[in-house]
Chains A and B, each alone.
Chain A
Amino acid sequence: MLFAFVLYTVVAGAEASPTKPNTALHAIAQELIDAGYREKQALTERLTTIDDPKTLEFMQVMVEGDLYYRKDDRVVVIKGDNAVTTFFSGEEITLESKRDIKKISVNNKLRVLLRGGIARLQIFSDDPEMRMQAAVNLLKSAEDLDQATLDEALSNEEKPDVRDVLSLVKGIRLLEADTEKERLEGVSYLSGSLYPDVRGALANYRRAAEADSRTEEIQAADEALKKIESLLSLNSVAENLYFGLALGAVLLLAAIGLAITFGVMGVINMAHGEMIMLGAYTTYVVQQLMPDHIGMSLAVAVPAAFLVSGFVGVLIERGVIRHLYGRPLETLLATFGISLVLQQAVRSVFSPLNREVATPDWMAGTFMINPALELTFNRLYIIIFSLLVLALLALILKRTLFGLQMRAVTMNRPMASSMGIRTGWVDALTFGLGSGIAGIAGVALSQLTNVGPNMGQAYIIDSFMVVVFGGVGNLWGTLVGAMSLGVVNKLLEPWAGAVVAKILVLIFIILFIQKRPRGLFALKGRAADMG
């Protein structure tokens, strides 16, 4: 029985890897199982001379301490976090007991050898990305590679960015050199680099220099560090700018809907935040309905949220707001009541607790601007998305019949009515459009913040601020208002703290309204007085 199983594995293994098995690696692996540390060292040295991807992988697994073998049949396996897979054939195996496998242990000496080998293999790899990765790893442990190999790699390297990193590695190595001249040369290599490891190496170097009171070197290190600091602060400004634009995009999404209901129709909708909340919960429900297609869920959620929030918006308009036109303060109170009802409804149907909304894989991830600045994709998508929504809305208002009717009704209701436009329907649909866009904002927000019954409240004041700041009834103003408020908020945050930044922005807007009560891009003259 056992025999049959072994046979099966061997056969299966053979079948699973039709490519020629790496015989040398195979042999070394089998030898490693029985070897003591001394023999292992020799074997490892042999390993490092083999230049092939499988060996590289072998060494990587080994240095991590994840390399095991099965006691029964001496098959080499990788012990991952959740599963155990065979190394050569790559198939998953189930273990009866933990003791079925045994670790191929490594000590520090072996690790140094392995890392050096890995670095060497990678640094001469044909794949530039792998070379880059290897070079970046070397920044952490420059001693992995001997001087000669490093110099060779440097002179062979064609890619400028890899060469830059390699020269940083050289610089770090030079910091440890014996002569002051060499050490200073090392500093000159490192000045202005944004890798945290470089900064750490320089800081260590400065400490050492200080301990020996080598004044000239201290000064050189300080200068290099200062340059790095100033670059880093520039970086953080850039990062905050990005965060600010992303916040601005969220505000924009939240405020566009309001720009329609408040700006175009003059209706204060205090339940606007709850339209956003409904959109976010729609996303949650959509994901619950299609758990296997999270990647697609947002594409479904956007129209679904638009419809749900838009429909609720139409209901609110027909049921309540319609009776309150011309009485803005009453509208404000009634819609506030609606917002309470909606919040409580969500609390009763779902739960008072926050709901988990998954982020699709394609939304995750970052792109690197420089070693100290990585920008997340989800924010970028939201910025783009918000602009798309804005553009689409502008198109609807300017180019469609509905947009035309909408503008006609807001400009001259009796005239529009006498021309056969059903003003009641236009009102309801306009309100539905504004609410629907709030629902879309909710989808975007569900990717950034917690989805809970109170989430709308956090955005309602800010959205009003955006609309008021940008100038009522002006989409362009809404865009500029949202982006500038978002950016100002995030730029203030580092030195004032999040809460104080928010307070400062609120105070700024209050003062701003004093100066220009009708916003940045106010309509002047008669039209403004009609409101």
Chain B
Amino acid sequence: MSLAKTKHIEQPTVLYMDGVSVSFDGFKALNSLSLFIEPGEMRAIIGPNGAGKTTMMDVITGKTRPDEGTILFNDELDLTRYDEAQVANMGVGRKFQKPSVIESLTVFENLEMSLKGGRSVWQALTHKLTGAKQDKIDEILSMIDLKDRLYEDAGSLSHGQKQWLEIGMLLGQEPELLLIDEPAAGMTDEETMKTAELFKELSKKHSLMVVEHDMDFIEALDCRVTVLHEGSVLAEGSLANVKNNQQVIEVYLGR
């Protein structure tokens, strides 16, 4: 049990970060950040600009190597040792702030590409669309409401639809943990609420970490909130709790 040494809490976690630091040219983007997410938990992350939210996602997904610290996935996999593709295939899905779908492929092709498995070059070359896969695509399509635009280029979708397609692609990956960066940005109120519903639905099967600025959206999510500031956790608890925290108020309103 060598891992017991590195993990300092008992309960099972899907994501465990301890003492993670990253610096760029002397600027500490993450400063001994510690945070954990339990299986099936939905967690909202808030924090002012430059608090380290995006960097945190980068280190979890293997895009950036931390200078120090532990990041464990499902209590056993050390995420700092893998690259983006490997982390993705372990079951961590990531959605970017700016919708990133493959604009010159159709909605169908985007989803088909995202389906779990078949990641090797050879499998991709000999890939065949099976009935099971078709069913899975249909299932996702009904969730994200893009059935009638199946054969249109993703580039022709509206902003909100692209966001949803990207979420759909995440679902196709069947990840255990979803990292979602500002999903509500650029959405209408109605779309925002619909998205919140979707996430609540998703949290029944997956663990979610949602970075968001929109307080209404976070309220709708109704989950535990973590406040990041200057690369470390400032406060954690229910939204109401956090909102009344003196330090948080200072950070958000200025001193």
Within 8 Å by CB, do A and B touch in the complex? yes
- By a beta-carbon cutoff of 8 Å, the part of chain A in contact with chain B is 523-526
Shortest beta-carbon distance, A519 to chain B, in Å? 15
Ordered by A's residue number, 6 sampled pairs between the chains whose C-beta atoms are within 8 Å are A523-B25, A524-B25, A525-B25, A525-B27, A525-B29, A526-B24
Shortest beta-carbon distance, A520 to chain B, in Å? 15
Report the separation of the CA atoms of residues A525 and B27 in the bound assembly, to the nearest whole angstrom.
9
Q: Which residues of B contact A524 (CB under 8 A)?
A: 24-25
Question: Whose C-beta in chain B lies nearest to the C-beta of A527?
Answer: B24
Shortest beta-carbon distance, B249 to chain A, in Å? 28
Question: Whose C-beta in chain A lies nearest to the C-beta of B24?
Answer: A525
Q: Which residues of A contact B27 (CB under 8 A)?
A: 525
8 closest A-B pairs by beta carbon, nearest first, are: A525-B24, A524-B24, A524-B25, A525-B25, A526-B24, A525-B27, A525-B29, A523-B25
Since A524-B24, A525-B24, A525-B25 are in contact, a sample of 5 more A-B pairs with Cβ atoms closer than 8 Å, ordered by chain A residue number, is A523-B25, A524-B25, A525-B27, A525-B29, A526-B24
Report the separation of the CA atoms of residues A526 and B25 in the bound assembly, to the nearest whole angstrom.
10
Report the separation of the CA atoms of residues A526 and B54 in the bound assembly, to the nearest whole angstrom.
10
Question: Whose C-beta in chain A lies nearest to the C-beta of B63?
Answer: A529
Shortest beta-carbon distance, B239 to chain A, in Å? 29
Q: Which residues of A contact B25 (CB under 8 A)?
A: 523-525
Report the separation of the CA atoms of residues A525 and B29 in the bound assembly, to the nearest whole angstrom.
9
Report the separation of the CA atoms of residues A524 and B24 in the bound assembly, to the nearest whole angstrom.
6
Q: Which residues of B contact A526 (CB under 8 A)?
A: 24
Report the separation of the CA atoms of residues A241 and B182 in the bound assembly, to the nearest whole angstrom.
56
Q: Which residues of A contact B24 (CB under 8 A)?
A: 524-526
Q: Which residues of B contact A525 (CB under 8 A)?
A: 24-25, 27, 29
Q: Which residues of B contact A523 (CB under 8 A)?
A: 25
Report the separation of the CA atoms of residues A524 and B67 in the bound assembly, to the nearest whole angstrom.
14
Shortest beta-carbon distance, B254 to chain A, in Å? 22
Report the separation of the CA atoms of residues A160 and B7 in the bound assembly, to the nearest whole angstrom.
78
Shortest beta-carbon distance, A66 to chain B, in Å? 71
Q: Which residues of A contact B29 (CB under 8 A)?
A: 525
Report the separation of the CA atoms of residues A68 and B107 in the bound assembly, to the nearest whole angstrom.
101
Question: Whose C-beta in chain A lies nearest to the C-beta of B27?
Answer: A525
* B20-46 Cβ-contact flags toward A at 8 Å (1 or 0): 000011010100000000000000000
Report the separation of the CA atoms of residues A524 and B25 in the bound assembly, to the nearest whole angstrom.
6
Question: Whose C-beta in chain B lies nearest to the C-beta of A522?
Answer: B25
* B231-245 Cβ-contact flags toward A at 8 Å (1 or 0): 000000000000000
Report the separation of the CA atoms of residues A60 and B29 in the bound assembly, to the nearest whole angstrom.
80
Question: Whose C-beta in chain A lies nearest to the C-beta of B22?
Answer: A525
* B43-56 Cβ-contact flags toward A at 8 Å (1 or 0): 00000000000000
Report the separation of the CA atoms of residues A525 and B24 in the bound assembly, to the nearest whole angstrom.
5
Report the separation of the CA atoms of residues A526 and B24 in the bound assembly, to the nearest whole angstrom.
8
Report the separation of the CA atoms of residues A512 and B209 in the bound assembly, to the nearest whole angstrom.
38
Report the separation of the CA atoms of residues A523 and B25 in the bound assembly, to the nearest whole angstrom.
8
Report the separation of the CA atoms of residues A349 and B27 in the bound assembly, to the nearest whole angstrom.
56
Question: Whose C-beta in chain B lies nearest to the C-beta of A523?
Answer: B25
Report the separation of the CA atoms of residues A523 and B26 in the bound assembly, to the nearest whole angstrom.
12
Shortest beta-carbon distance, B14 to chain A, in Å? 27
Report the separation of the CA atoms of residues A526 and B53 in the bound assembly, to the nearest whole angstrom.
13
Report the separation of the CA atoms of residues A523 and B29 in the bound assembly, to the nearest whole angstrom.
15
Shortest beta-carbon distance, B28 to chain A, in Å? 11
Shortest beta-carbon distance, B154 to chain A, in Å? 20
Report the separation of the CA atoms of residues A523 and B27 in the bound assembly, to the nearest whole angstrom.
12
Shortest beta-carbon distance, A412 to chain B, in Å? 14
Shortest beta-carbon distance, A207 to chain B, in Å? 65
Shortest beta-carbon distance, A514 to chain B, in Å? 16
Report the separation of the CA atoms of residues A525 and B67 in the bound assembly, to the nearest whole angstrom.
13
Report the separation of the CA atoms of residues A526 and B27 in the bound assembly, to the nearest whole angstrom.
11
Shortest beta-carbon distance, A286 to chain B, in Å? 45
Shortest beta-carbon distance, A326 to chain B, in Å? 15
Shortest beta-carbon distance, A141 to chain B, in Å? 67
Question: Whose C-beta in chain B lies nearest to the C-beta of A526?
Answer: B24
Report the separation of the CA atoms of residues A524 and B29 in the bound assembly, to the nearest whole angstrom.
12
Shortest beta-carbon distance, B66 to chain A, in Å? 13
Report the separation of the CA atoms of residues A428 and B57 in the bound assembly, to the nearest whole angstrom.
39
Report the separation of the CA atoms of residues A523 and B24 in the bound assembly, to the nearest whole angstrom.
9
Question: Whose C-beta in chain B lies nearest to the C-beta of A525?
Answer: B24
Question: Whose C-beta in chain A lies nearest to the C-beta of B54?
Answer: A526
Shortest beta-carbon distance, A415 to chain B, in Å? 15
Question: Whose C-beta in chain A lies nearest to the C-beta of B23?
Answer: A525
Question: Whose C-beta in chain A lies nearest to the C-beta of B29?
Answer: A525
Shortest beta-carbon distance, A247 to chain B, in Å? 32
Shortest beta-carbon distance, B250 to chain A, in Å? 25
Shortest beta-carbon distance, B118 to chain A, in Å? 29
Shortest beta-carbon distance, A329 to chain B, in Å? 16
Shortest beta-carbon distance, B84 to chain A, in Å? 14
Report the separation of the CA atoms of residues A35 and B210 in the bound assembly, to the nearest whole angstrom.
114
Shortest beta-carbon distance, A401 to chain B, in Å? 27
